[in-house]
A and B are shown apart, each in its own frame.
Chain A
Amino acid sequence: MLQIKSLTKSFDGFKAVNNANLDVQKGEIVAVIGPNGAGKTTLFNLITGVLRPDSGEVLFKGDNITGLAPHEICRKRISRSFQVVNVFNRLSIFENTQISILSRERKTWNLFTPSSKLAVDETNELLRNVGLYERRDRISGALSHGDRKVLEIAMALGGNPEFLILDEPTAGMSPEETSRCIDLIQSLREKFGLTILFCEHDMEIVFGIASRIMVMVRGASIVQGTCEEVRCNEAVQDAYLGGSDVCLM
């Protein structure tokens, strides 16, 4: 479904992403892992149009989406959540999610109907699906960190995506929040038939839900394979553990 070929991006001579490759099949959950600074977020930014690559291609369902603007990529039904919570802080949970849905429904040029009357049912349903319905009138700037991360995901879902990119969805969450989030992701995937690409630092999660893993080190993709293949791969061990002779985990 998603193909990344030889993607490269430099900043002032520093190669943040160096000839990265990635394949994601429909319906899979693929994880991108790597040490800090390996370029995972940059890779996501390149896919979603926040940055333009210096060279390489991104193909989605056969179409070349390299270099498209973020709002155009969203229209292709690729949605994304951010590592650092990126919501509309002054608005409530309901309003945040509603905007996402209104955007998908192309109602953003409507100047006269009060927002309070539009897309109410769809917004409420989405909020129920992610478990934020009871708190829907709270201002998002004042929520707990875990709730804000879930709101991130809710907003990404508002676009009715086929492909969901999650940048460290459980970062900063407590253990209960984390397991709830993981359950949520898996149930959403089943319910909506999503293909998911995510990155995480928590290896338990990665090996728990990912069907395949891509490992990035210093901007390059050094290996792509199943959990087993990655766990015992020498290059990965070198990168993470400095060459000791154990299988990861």
Chain B
Amino acid sequence: MTLSIYELAVLSASILAIFLLGTTYIRTNLGFYSAQTMAIAAATMLAGSQREPHLYVIALIILLLKAVGIPVFLIWIADRIDAQTDAGTYLPAPLSMHLGILLLGASYILSSELPMMLGHGQGSSRIGATAAMSLLFSGILVMLTRRIAISQIIGFLMIENGIYLFALTQTHGMPMMVEMGILLDVLVGVMIAGLLLFRIKKSFEHIDASQLTQLKD
């Protein structure tokens, strides 16, 4: 099937997300996250050239803050708390990568259920929905199968990427103020979570989220 550059960009974002599933090294994960966010920024720029110019600004801000800023911040924290790899995963990384591919296929089938819109061709909206759904699934998979706290943050960020991609491909782009507000919230959330990670490492001597079970009925 022939794909336009825009579709290639969004699909490569979801493929990079699948690659992220296959490795447990934190630095590699953050590298894949950064690459996938850059692909999404590129897709936003391409969409901006076709539709509304305010998307250019959003693409630039995503590139600077989400593709560069957040991974640098998280790598800095990972170095401080000496977290190199996620040793305990509930599902071996290669298997979760293959599961991610299956979910990509499932998203393609599911995307035909969504009412399609956007004037520029049936295909692009469908590929966009596929990529967004698969990003969402990959993020959920990361949150479910990984144990250490920093992987949970990465999973949350991937879910946010997927939702943003949904907004980009299924609508004419959300209003500027709303996008900025969402970005701000995500940034502040990641910062607070990162600072909490420091404390968790200092207090508990580990960052294994599955062992935070002191509070229960």
Q: Note whether A and B form a binding pair.
A: no
Q: Which residues of B contact A (CB under 8 A)?
A: none
Q: Which residues of A contact B (CB under 8 A)?
A: none
